[in-house]
Structures are given as structure tokens and as C-alpha cells.
Amino acid sequence: MKTKISLFAMALCTFSLLAQNMNNVQMPEITRINSRKFINVPNIMGYKTLKCDFHMHTVFSDGQVWPTIRVDEAWQEGLDVIAITDHIENNPSKKFVSGDDNSSYEIAKPYAEKKGILLIKGAEITRAMTPGHFNALFLTNTNELDTPNYMNAFEAAKKQGAFIIWNHPGWKAQQPDTCKWWDIHTELLNKGMLHAVEVFNEQEYYPIAFDWCNEKGIAYTAASDIHGLVENLYDLSKNHRPMTLVLATENSESALKEALFAGRTIAWFGHFLAGKEDYLREFFKASIKISQISDKKVYRVVNVSDVPFILKSTDGTQFTIAAFSESTIEIPVSNKGDFEVVNLIIRSNKNLSVKFPF
Amino acid sequence: MKTKISLFAMALCTFSLLAQNMNNVQMPEITRINSRKFINVPNIMGYKTLKCDFHMHTVFSDGQVWPTIRVDEAWQEGLDVIAITDHIENNPSKKFVSGDDNSSYEIAKPYAEKKGILLIKGAEITRAMTPGHFNALFLTNTNELDTPNYMNAFEAAKKQGAFIIWNHPGWKAQQPDTCKWWDIHTELLNKGMLHAVEVFNEQEYYPIAFDWCNEKGIAYTAASDIHGLVENLYDLSKNHRPMTLVLATENSESALKEALFAGRTIAWFGHFLAGKEDYLREFFKASIKISQISDKKVYRVVNVSDVPFILKSTDGTQFTIAAFSESTIEIPVSNKGDFEVVNLIIRSNKNLSVKFPF
Amino acid sequence: MKTKISLFAMALCTFSLLAQNMNNVQMPEITRINSRKFINVPNIMGYKTLKCDFHMHTVFSDGQVWPTIRVDEAWQEGLDVIAITDHIENNPSKKFVSGDDNSSYEIAKPYAEKKGILLIKGAEITRAMTPGHFNALFLTNTNELDTPNYMNAFEAAKKQGAFIIWNHPGWKAQQPDTCKWWDIHTELLNKGMLHAVEVFNEQEYYPIAFDWCNEKGIAYTAASDIHGLVENLYDLSKNHRPMTLVLATENSESALKEALFAGRTIAWFGHFLAGKEDYLREFFKASIKISQISDKKVYRVVNVSDVPFILKSTDGTQFTIAAFSESTIEIPVSNKGDFEVVNLIIRSNKNLSVKFPF
Amino acid sequence: MKTKISLFAMALCTFSLLAQNMNNVQMPEITRINSRKFINVPNIMGYKTLKCDFHMHTVFSDGQVWPTIRVDEAWQEGLDVIAITDHIENNPSKKFVSGDDNSSYEIAKPYAEKKGILLIKGAEITRAMTPGHFNALFLTNTNELDTPNYMNAFEAAKKQGAFIIWNHPGWKAQQPDTCKWWDIHTELLNKGMLHAVEVFNEQEYYPIAFDWCNEKGIAYTAASDIHGLVENLYDLSKNHRPMTLVLATENSESALKEALFAGRTIAWFGHFLAGKEDYLREFFKASIKISQISDKKVYRVVNVSDVPFILKSTDGTQFTIAAFSESTIEIPVSNKGDFEVVNLIIRSNKNLSVKFPF
């Protein structure tokens, strides 16, 4: 008789026999263990790499969850920082849901503190094109942004010290045939009312926006813009939600704010990282450890980050270093070691170049 | 050179090179595929086995999600039927959320129809002990149950043709030292105002309630009573939420109602099924297919259900037939084939007996 | 205090406290449960769909495992039938491993019977090009094929009633610049010494060979040609090994033989099925169940097979029905319902056409 | 139309359309990516923690695989060091397999070097009880141990500088009613011919042997003793094979040898670690990082090792810190912080005690 019954099963047996003497019995084994996912990314350049999602909604605008759920999701998925950015101007649930523009933050903040998630007060300035939609972070009183004239909203945000992001600049609903930077955006930039662009939003990315970030010296961001459940939109067993990695001196609101205004960000979406060349180079170097095995053409490669690296050489050699893995690779004798990392993007049409062995 | 680069990676390469010519680019590969989980349970006794959860909350009482999210969750997890059962009497979100006792149903119904989930109109009569908490299903106007006197609420429910379930009868908040059936429950039963009991609620089960179901001829149910996200409470990669299996002539509201009033239910929680002996026997027989391999003591066992079966013989022989699996087992020559299925419960202190080969 | 300790953990506690009184203690919970994977494919056209791999090696030629391991692997992965096809002519292990050409079969057969795996006696006729490598199945004495002249080997195989498959016809080691059908293959075909071609071998497929199968009326096959561990070559958590599906009257050697000579096969590799149009159409129809939900453009689609179906319409509409899943799809009003199933291949340049709703 | 078709699927489309122009086509996407599992264990006390399995078999005794497969398995699973320990005295495959007692090492060594696995030359002295079975590591010529008298074998091993482990001391086949240390073991110990004991072998552990290790100052080991495939015996998706962690100055044969003779080992099997108190304490401290969240009773706990820790306090408080996870825990006000780590074993009847916060 093969007795491949597990101890677990034996526990169940005992359990059911004992049960008759009890009024109620906890069955914790069917529930999720109270632990969260690790996101493995290296700390680089002396900074801590914070994992942030600065764009999401709740029932206080057109989202489908109570604000505390956004904290639960972020905690489960391993994020450090979130901003709830309910639309200021429109709330399709208003037949049922009241409250003012500060309500979602006020409800979620105490819970976020208990869970150890840094919740930044934010809101979405939601206007027709131009100028479009913008997230303002680090607000003190969102209600002051609820004004008929959009410029007044930007002024109120600036007065509160906000960090302002242009959301989904190539969104078809607003820019159907183009992804254009308008004069108003130059004006906002010049007035200190525009500090970043979403190069990625939800499931969509905007290659042209990469170049704006570089040319205009503004920060790269990526965000989920989630309205329903993160779990239902992204396959979290294989991937993470889109997020902005922020290189901060520590995990605190003031350090985050300093880092954002200094532009120390990397946009992370799917298998792609987009950002300044030097940040991506440092990220790559901190992720990969290479050592030679017995033979001079065979290497052991360790990748300690959750980002895979897809490498391509001019001679056609290409390979993928899987995320968080150890692998061996063989490089052809003739290969000179010049590789492009196809998924590390430093311009809309340019990837990071690296020299092997890294 | 090992070129273990996947086609997927190649697609990404192409993708990034092309991207410069586009305004926005969909990246569907990072999102969840739009498919739902199968729950594998056999149809038995000529009925269709419906997978139902009759107890859950939204922001319209003390839950943390918009009603449509309950439909999304149910769909993802493979359920057929749900009832949203917001508390009639109390709503801690009422500072922000208004609406009446019918609102959550009205919001969720059109979405449920679109997703193919059968949404039953329900509500939770939420009273101090005695009598405790009760779910009323198949309501037509929940507002009529919002009365000071609980008996008036039961009368209104009965008038609307409701199926009424006593929730978490051994809940410590209401019955700290006991799990007692009071006279009022006999009265409700006699008046046709009590048709089922939750033998399992959320993470807790009530062995004593098994015997009530049997003695009094009322239906066995199990429910999640979910307030936050199902995903955060239960480990759905390993298990399903607690649910009631209903043996109905078809997947329709009228067939479900007929089946519930006829008491054709099985409570399923963790690895346990609880219900009438004949239903569990049929379930077991329909799940297991056995064939002999070359040697007379070795069998191939196929289990087409998602329920594992933990078997124990009087001679100490025990084994587990894993859920949805094919396996081989060897039975000792001396074994007479009398087994108890430890996780199929027909009384608080009695499990289903089966004769091998089944 | 959150007491999210599982019963399993509690079992461990008890366990360690008791352990001091025991000499040795079984810890079955760290071992694999003795169950095998289901492969979900429909039975079609009144036949049973047998899952078969007819090409693999052991230490008795240039493989790296004892013959019994091939049975273990097949059992774990859910196969019905295998043939061990050690090279007749060459054995790089012969410094250490002796035995004759029947040894691997003789060693594995009793174990296969005990596990319920149908083991077919086979061997690989391994010759330079032309004619190349061929698997002969249903042999009675493999030693008789060990002859200097290849035609004598074919004659011996035919005399034993063998079913003969041309292996990896486009293998670069033998046909570096082409995938050509030579005169000798016509001769073998005409002499009744060639009954099938591998359209897929290990990780490689041969589109041209599809057309041969169709033109010449011979059977389509796919095989692993595994030498090391199946587990190390294929990612079994996501996929299955390449295999030949055989439509047989029952799971027996005689029924299998009848089905193979009648050409009732489908080659299955990765997400692709290749075979005769009518078999693939029946397979598709038996896999997919469609029902309309509330709205006439929204369908619920159930796929009961482990094959995903990638559909593409002339108007650009395309979607994937995931393997073994239930999903909802919406079809644009303008779409006429003419779809091509991109991964069901009936010619090298032609896929199965289907009409929606199927 | 929901176009949730993945890029992967699009790649497949393109693929099949192009295929007609090719002779053969690689389909790498169905194969396993060439990367291995990380085993997360901390380096402690200034040493590198090597993951070692010193007990396994091949076709050169009664195992079922060619020696190179043992290297493949170790590599996939993330091990650093293995010893192939074929039985010296018996080889059930000898009808087919020849070679001498050094053959398995000689075949596997070049491949191990290429894969970066440290292969130690070893063999199993396989004698009736007493003295039983012993693994000798660091041999130079195994053939010299192939002698009729067992003491001669031990002498030859000692002369070659071997590290000698008593295998499965409580194995029922040799010690059916007891797990006894005989006079011969004292003699071997005194002669410098016994340096360690397997406290765990395959699926079985020997609590009494813990105390021997401590009393006699010999090393704790755990090993798989694998004969078939590791994959088929252990559920590697949830667990690792049993192994010995060795605290060595570096990953080299000489450093390993020094560490073993110095007794710097920890036996790891299932969720258990067994070893000297100070090693386990350092392991625990290096694995766990604790920080307080807003409230003084709530802690964030990070476990960077693949070992879960099951903690139990005298007041009944207990919780599990899951392997490689981040979680929050709440400790009751009344709890004094004295915990026992139930799965860290320092005597047969004693677990590691720790003080919270650690």
C-alpha cells in the first residue's frame, strides 16, 4: 500500500473527528497566508529604489473599489508607494457616493500607515484636450483644484507644491491621430506646472513621449490607471503592474518628493524599462553578475532583478537573461561582445548598449 | 551560442523597433487573458451542479467594493450564481454612500447578465441574537424588510417568496460559548421562514449545524461572506472560495429556487463536502473512475472533480486521491475494502463509508 | 495576533515533539503526490484519442536514462503509449553498456505494464542520407534489423509487420540546404516500407513534410526524440512534449496498429496541430462549446481541450481561445464569421477555416 | 471586439505563414529556458553557504540514470555540490552495465565542470548491519575499497583522506526495531573513520541521530539517496530535495573538505533545519529582518531565506513566517517575546529559542 497521504491530510482527519465537540472551528488553511510578494529590483547609485504607482481610482470617482482596497492591492503586490488620483471634475457614482475631493485619501491614509504603504495625496485634473489629463501629487487640499478654469487648477496645485504628470499623452480619445506636444504644454512646463509624462498608461505606451522626457528634462513615469481590480487586468502570476521606480534617499514622503523633482525615475512596464541612459546602465550592472566557468566561452550569469534582459548583437547573436535567475550562456568565439539590450529603452528609437562580459 | 530566445522575446524586439512610428501601442501581453477558471464538479442524479455563493457585501453596506466587482470575482473564479447580501440595517459607509436596499442589485444586475453570471437578489437581515443574521434570497423589494421589528422583516421576506438562510450560527460575537438552536428558530422554521443554515462561513465551520440540517430537513450551505477582495482572503491558486453546490434542473433563477426549496444542496469548503449521504455518495461515484491494471492489487484511479478524497480503512490503510488527477494505488491483500471518506461529512461525527473498488 | 498558521504547520509542530520517541519517521509531505497530469483532448469520430510519443532513447543507445525512466516520464506527463527507439547501429555508451537491440524493451516492458503505459517495441534504423533515420514500430526481434545493408533492415522490419516513420526529414545534419523527398523514399513507399513522416522532431518542424503526408497519403507524426530528461528540455509547467495523437478504437496494441496503418493521426507540437482537414475540424468542434449570453454579439466559449485556438478573420478581427478555459468574446457587428484557425495546419501554407459561431 | 490576443500569439501567426519557405524551423518557445532555480539561503559567520547532496546513484549501481543526468538535476535545482555514491559491492544492472567503481565519476566530471557543479568523488560502502552503509567522499581510487572485509574498505578510504558518513542509521531494513549506535561505530569514530551521520535520508528522518551528532561532535547531514529522478520523488515546485548546507570559505573542493572535517554543516529537509545551536541561530538572524510599522505592536517581517520559520510562544501565540516573503505580524501586548522556532532542531527534543523582536 502506498501511503502517500500527507501530514496535511492527516491533520484534516484528526480535525474532522474532533470537530463534533466544538461550536465553531477556524479553518485557516484555506486562506491566503498573510505575506506579500517581493519585487526584486536593485538599489542603485546610493539610492533606495522605491516601487510606486501614482495613478489609480476608487468609487470616489469612476473606480470600482473602496480606497482601502487600493492599499491592500499595493501591499500584496510588493509596492512601496501609491497615490490615489480620483478625477476631480467627474464622478459617475455620484448618485450614490458623496464626499469631497479629499475623501478617498482620508479614508485610505490610516489603513496605509498600518500596512506600511506610503500613500501620497493626489488627484487627477481631468480636462478636455488641450491640455488633457494630469495627476497632481503631494496636494494638501484637493478641493482647491475643483475650479471651472483649468489654469486655476494648475495654479492651485503649484501653490500646494504639487508634482504634476501629464497622463496618457497619446490616448486615442484625446489625440486620435497623433501624440502631440502642444504650446500649452510648453507653457505649463515653463510655469513649473509640468514635471513628468506617463510614457506608459494601463496597457498602452507612447514612444514619442520618451523623447520629450529626454529633451525637456522631465521625469519618465508608468502607471496602472486602474479602475477595477489590478488582479483582473494584469496577470500577476507572470508580471507586475506598470510602475515608476523612484531613486530616493529613503522611503519617506519628503525623500520621494525630492527624488521626483530631481527626475530620478525609471518607467517599468511589462518587460521594458524606460529612462535616462545612466540610470538604466546602473540598473543593468547592479542586476547582473557574471562569472566564467571552466571554459573561456561559457559564463554563469546571475540576474538578481525581476527584469529579464533581452540581448542582441550585431552578428545576430541574441539571448535572454531570464528574470531572477541563474543561467549559463555560451558566446561564439567570433562575437566581439557589443550588445544592445532590446528591452531597456533610452530613446524612442534607441536601446541601451552594453559590452560583454558586463 | 545557445539561442534559447523565445519567439515572444523576438516579438518584443520587433515591437520596440517599430514603436517609434506609432503614437500609442497596445501591450496586451502583460494583461490577464480574458478567461475564467473551470471548477470541475460532476453533474449528478440528472441535475446540473451549480456553483453558488449566497453571501457577500459591497460598499452599500460594510463591504469594500462596488457591486460590479463581485460579478468580476465570481466570473474569474468559475462560479455560476451569486447573491449580494448587503446588510439591511447598517451601513458604516453611509457618510459617503447613499442609495436604498435595492441599489447594489440594480447596479450589478446588467453587468452580471452581460458576463453570464446569475445574480440573485438578496439581503442580510442583521439582528442581535436572538435571532441573529439571516440571508433572504429571491427578494423583489428589499426595502420592505427594513423594519424595526425583526419578525416584520421575516414576514415581508416570506411574502416575497424568499429562501431564508441562518448565517454563521456559531459565530462567537453572537454565541460565544455555544452553538445553540433557540426556540425562535423553531418558530421561524414552523412558519416557513427558515430553509437553510450556513454550516460554513468565511473561515469557520459549525459541526453542530450539520445535525440540524439533517434532523430538521433544511438545506446545507457554505458561503464566503466576503467584505474585501476574495483574492486577498483565500489562496485561489490552491483552493476555491467556500460555496454551495445546488443540484438544479438547469442554470436559471426558477430552477435554482426550486432546487433550494427542495434542499438539493452540498456545502463545499476547503477539502470538505457536507450534505446528505445520498448526494455525497453520488458525487463521489461520479467523480471517481477506477480500472484495474495488470496486477489485481494495483488500480488506476481517475478523479474528475476538484475535490480530493481522503480515504481511511479500519486496518489503518489510508490514502488521498488528489483533486482532478489520475493516479495508481495499491491495496494490501488483507484489506477488505471498507473505507471511510474522511472529508465527506454526513453528520457532525460521521463520514461517508464506501466499499473499494468503488 | 494574527494566527495565520496553517494546520499543516500545526501538524509539523506536533510532529517534531513526538519525534523523539521514534527511530525513523516518514516525511511524505515533502514528496510528490503519486498522481499524473491529465492531458485534455477530446475523443472524436467515435475513436479514443491516444497520446503517443514514438521516438526516444535510453542508455542502450545514446540516451542518458535507464529504460524504466522513460515509462516514469510518460506516466507523469499523462501519455498513453510510448516506443523506445534506440539506435540499432550505434551506441556511444557501449564501453560500459552491453545487451542487444531488444534489451531496452525487455527491461521496460514489465514496469510499463505495472504503470498502465502501453510500450510498443521499436528501434531507430540509423543510416546516412539517403535514406536517413527511420523508426520501426511493432517489431518482434530488433536484432534482425542490425544488418550492414539498409535495405535488408527495411525488409526485416516489413517482415515483422513494422509501421515505419521517416524521422526528422529536414534535419540539417543530413539535409543542410533542403528538405527533399528522394527517389529512395518513393521506392520505400511503394514497397510498403514507409508509412509516416515526422513533421515535428524535438524542437524543429518541417513544413514541407506536411504536404508529403497529404499528397502521398501517409501519416503525420510528432515526437520528442528525447535523449536526456523530458523535464529538462520542455517546460512541462506550460506545455507538453511533442506527440502524435492516434484515433484508435481502444487503448491496445492491436487497435493502435490498426489506427496507424489507417493513417488516423494528428501531430501535436507546441500550440500547433497538423493533420488532415477532417480530423482537425472534428477536433476543433469537439473542443469548443459556444453559447450566447444576453446580447447577441457576446458569446461564452468553453474550450475543453489543452489546445488553444488562435483565430483570425479577414477583417482583422483576431482572438485566442485559451486552452482548457471558459471565456467571453464579443464579435463586431460587421464581422461575417469567417475565421482561420492559425494554429491548426492542414497544408504547409493552409490553416483550417471555420465559420463562427462554430 | 476584445483583442486580448498576445504578441506571442501574433508571433505564432507570422510564424506559420512564413513557414512554407523553410526546410526546418526551430520552435524554442516550447522548451525550457536555460536557467536554474535560485536557492535562497544566507551566507553566515563569514562563510559561503554551499548547497550539497552527498548521496545519489546511477546505472553504475542500482540507479536509473546515466551519471550526467545527476549533474543536470543538481544544476536545475540550484545546488552547488554533489557526490555520486554508487554502491561499491552491488550492481543489479551488471548484466548490461560494466565499468569499474570509478566510472560514474569519470563520466560525470567533465560535464559537471562545464556546468559549474562541483562534483566530489564518492562511493557507498554497502555492508550488512553491523556496520551498515557509509558514504566515503573525496576518494582518489574507489576500486581500492572493493574488498571482502569491510574494515579493509574503511582503511582504504581513510588512507585516501575520505570524509565518511554513516547513512540512514535507523533504516528499517537494517535496524527494524531500533536506531542503535553499536560498538563498531565507536571503533570507527575512534579510528578516524566516521565523521558524520545522515539525520535525514530520502523521506525519513532519525531523531536519535541528532543527539549522536551533538554528543560525539560529528557532522549533521541530509541527503536524497536518489535512485530514479529527483523530479519524480520530490515535488520541486513546492520544495527542494534534502541537502546538507556546508559553511565553507569558498566554493572549492579543498574549502568544502576543510568545512566538512570541521563539522560546519546544517541538515535541511522539508521545512526543517537540524544542526548546532549557534549555526541555526546565525541562520535565523541572517534570514529575518524586522522593522516596526506605525504602531508599536505591528511589525514588518522580511524573510530572505527559502526556509519558513514556525514560531510558538509559551502563551500559545504562534505564527509562521513564510519562506522568502514579506509580511506583517501583530504581537499581543501581553506576550513577552519568548519564542521557540519549531522547525529549527538543535536536539532530538529541543528547538531553537529566540527572543522577539529578533
Q: Which of A35, A294, A298 sits opposite D322 (nearest CB)?
A: A35
Please state, for a pLDDT cut of 70, what percent of chain C lies above it. Answer: 90
Helices (H), chain A: 7-18, 67-77, 103-115, 150-159, 183-190, 207-216, 230-233, 253-261, 277-287
Q: What is the mean pLDDT of residues C271-275?
A: 95
Q: What is the residue-wise DSSP string for B115-174?
A: HT-EEEEEEEEE-PTTT-EEEEES-S-GGGG--SSHHHHHHHHHHTT-EEEE--TT-TTT
Q: Which of B4, B27, B31 sits opposite D33 (nearest CB)?
A: B4
Q: Which chains contact C through at least 3 pairs of Cβ atoms less than 8 Å apart? A: A, B, D
Q: Which of B35, B38, B327 sits opposite C34 (nearest CB)?
A: B327
Please state, for a pLDDT cut of 90, what percent of chain A lies above it. Answer: 71
Q: Are C228 and D6 a contacting pair at CB < 8 A?
A: no
Is residue C238 domain-shared with residue C131, that is, in the same domain? yes
pLDDT at residue C76 greater than cutoff 80: yes
Predicted TM-score (pTM) of the model is 0.89
The pLDDT assigned to A297 comes to 75
- In angstroms, the separation between the Cα of residue C171 and the nearest Cα of chain A is 22
C310 conformational bin, left if phi > 0, alpha if psi -120 to 50, beta if neither? beta
**Residue D129, CB half-sphere, CA atoms under 13 Å: how many?**
16
Contacts of D238 in chain B (CB under 8 A): none
Q: Which of D5, D11, D29 sits opposite B28 (nearest CB)?
A: D5
Please state at what angle helix C7-18 crosses helix A7-18, rounded to 10 degrees: 100
Within a domain: residue C227?
A: yes
The pLDDT assigned to C35 comes to 82
Q: How far apart are CA B302 and CA C36, in angstroms?
A: 10
| Closest CA in chain A for residue D322 | A35
Within a domain: residue C224?
A: yes
The pLDDT assigned to C5 comes to 27
Q: How far apart are CA C158 and CA D232, in angstroms?
A: 38
A94: which residues sit within 8 A by CB, 6+ positions away?
Answer: none
The pLDDT assigned to A239 comes to 87
Q: Which of A11, A12, A31 sits opposite C4 (nearest CB)?
A: A31
**Residue D105, CB half-sphere, CA atoms under 13 Å: how many?**
24
Q: How far apart are CA B345 and CA B348, in angstroms?
A: 7
Within a domain: residue D33?
A: no
What is the interface pTM, i.e. ipTM, of the complex?
A: 0.90
Q: How far apart are CA C20 and CA C16, in angstroms?
A: 8
D113: which residues sit within 8 A by CB, 6+ positions away?
Answer: A293, A294, D119
B42 phi, psi to nearest 5 deg: -75, 150
Contacts of C99 in chain D (CB under 8 A): 95-96
Q: What confidence tens digit (pLDDT) does each residue in A91-104 have?
A: 888 899 999 999 99
Is residue C268 domain-shared with residue C334, that is, in the same domain? no
Is residue D129 domain-shared with residue D202, that is, in the same domain? yes
The pLDDT assigned to A7 comes to 30
Is residue D196 domain-shared with residue D345, that is, in the same domain? no
The pLDDT assigned to D332 comes to 83
Q: How far apart are CA A188 and CA A218, in angstroms?
A: 12
* Residue B300 · residue C14 · CB < 8 Å: no
D128: which residues sit within 8 A by CB, 6+ positions away?
Answer: D174
Is residue B345 domain-shared with residue B260, that is, in the same domain? no
Contacts of B27 in chain D (CB under 8 A): 7
Q: Are D29 and B6 a contacting pair at CB < 8 A?
A: yes
Contacts of B25 in chain D (CB under 8 A): none
Within a domain: residue A10?
A: no
* Residue A162 · residue A137 · CB < 8 Å: yes
pLDDT at residue C3 greater than cutoff 70: no
Is residue D53 domain-shared with residue D158, that is, in the same domain? yes
Q: Are C34 and A4 a contacting pair at CB < 8 A?
A: yes
Q: Which of C26, C64, C351 sits opposite D66 (nearest CB)?
A: C64
The pLDDT assigned to A60 comes to 96
Q: Are D78 and A326 a contacting pair at CB < 8 A?
A: yes
| Closest CA in chain C for residue A25 | C7
Is residue D59 domain-shared with residue D116, that is, in the same domain? yes
Going by the DSSP 8-state scheme, the letter that residue C202 receives in this structure is T
Q: Which of A22, A96, A233 sits opposite B207 (nearest CB)?
A: A22
Q: Which chains contact A through at least 3 pairs of Cβ atoms less than 8 Å apart? A: B, C, D
Is residue B236 domain-shared with residue B292, that is, in the same domain? no
Q: What confidence tens digit (pLDDT) does each residue in D147-156 have?
A: 999 999 999 9
| Closest CA in chain D for residue A293 | D116
- In angstroms, the separation between the Cα of residue A309 and the nearest Cα of chain D is 13
Q: Are C228 and D13 a contacting pair at CB < 8 A?
A: no
Residues of chain B with pLDDT under 70: 1-33, 294-296
Is residue A180 domain-shared with residue A296, that is, in the same domain? no
Q: Please return the burial class of B256, using the count of CB atoms within 10 Å of its CB with bins 0-12, 13-18 and 19+.
A: buried
Q: Are B322 and C33 a contacting pair at CB < 8 A?
A: yes
Residues of chain D with pLDDT under 70: 1-33, 294-296
Q: Are A9 and B171 a contacting pair at CB < 8 A?
A: no
- In angstroms, the separation between the Cα of residue A214 and the nearest Cα of chain D is 28
Q: What confidence tens digit (pLDDT) does each residue in C226-249 have?
A: 999 999 999 898 889 999 999 999
pLDDT at residue C164 greater than cutoff 60: yes
- In angstroms, the separation between the Cα of residue A95 and the nearest Cα of chain C is 26
Q: Determine how many CB atoms are found less than 10 A away from the CB of residue D140.
A: 12
Residues of the domain holding D329: 287-355
Q: Which of C38, C113, C328 sits opposite B326 (nearest CB)?
A: C38
Contacts of B15 in chain D (CB under 8 A): 7
- In angstroms, the separation between the Cα of residue C280 and the nearest Cα of chain D is 16
The count of structural domains within chain A is 2
- In angstroms, the separation between the Cα of residue D75 and the nearest Cα of chain A is 9
Is residue B297 domain-shared with residue B244, that is, in the same domain? no
Contacts of B2 in chain D (CB under 8 A): 34
Q: Are D294 and A114 a contacting pair at CB < 8 A?
A: yes
The pLDDT assigned to B84 comes to 98
Q: How far apart are CA C231 and CA C239, in angstroms?
A: 11
pLDDT at residue C44 greater than cutoff 50: yes
Within a domain: residue B26?
A: no
Q: Are B35 and C298 a contacting pair at CB < 8 A?
A: no
Q: Are C35 and B327 a contacting pair at CB < 8 A?
A: yes
The pLDDT assigned to A23 comes to 67
Name the domain boundary from C275, C304, C332: C275
Preceding peptide of A110 cis, ω within 30° = no
Is residue B121 domain-shared with residue B256, that is, in the same domain? yes
Q: What are D's interface residues with A at a Cβ cutoff of 8 A? A: 33-38, 78, 113-116, 293-295, 298, 300, 320, 322, 324-329
| Closest CA in chain B for residue C298 | B114
Q: How far apart are CA A201 and CA A167, in angstroms?
A: 7
- Which of A31, A33, A35 best tests the D interface by mutation, with the highest count of D CBs <10 A? A35
Name the domain boundary from D275, D308, D342: D275
Who wins on pLDDT, B109 or C358?
Answer: B109
pLDDT at residue C331 greater than cutoff 90: no
The pLDDT assigned to B3 comes to 25
Partners of D48 in the β-ladder: D248
| Closest CA in chain A for residue B99 | A96
Is residue A268 domain-shared with residue A294, that is, in the same domain? no
Q: Which of A3, A4, A8 sits opposite C7 (nearest CB)?
A: A8
Which CATH number characterizes residue C171's domain? 3.20.20.140
- In angstroms, the separation between the Cα of residue B258 and the nearest Cα of chain A is 30
Q: What are C's interface residues with B at a Cβ cutoff of 8 A? A: 33-38, 78, 113-116, 293-295, 298, 300, 320-322, 324-329
Q: Are D4 and B29 a contacting pair at CB < 8 A?
A: no
Q: What are A's interface residues with D at a Cβ cutoff of 8 A? A: 33-38, 78, 113-116, 293-295, 298, 300, 320, 322, 324-329
pLDDT at residue C12 greater than cutoff 60: no
Q: What are B's interface residues with D at a Cβ cutoff of 8 A? A: 2-8, 10-12, 15, 26-29, 31, 33-34
Q: Are C6 and A34 a contacting pair at CB < 8 A?
A: no
> Would you write out chain A's pLDDT as a tens digit for each of its 358 residues?
222 223 333 333 333 333 334 566 666 556 666 788 889 999 999 999 999 999 999 999 999 999 999 999 999 999 999 999 999 987 888 899 999 999 999 999 999 998 899 999 999 999 999 999 999 999 999 999 999 999 999 999 999 999 999 999 999 899 988 889 999 999 999 999 999 999 999 999 898 998 999 999 999 999 999 999 999 999 898 889 999 999 999 999 999 999 999 999 999 999 999 999 999 999 999 999 998 876 667 888 999 999 999 999 988 788 889 899 898 888 888 888 899 999 999 998 899 999 988 7
- In angstroms, the separation between the Cα of residue D65 and the nearest Cα of chain A is 23
pLDDT at residue C28 greater than cutoff 80: no
Name the domain boundary from A235, A250, A275: A275
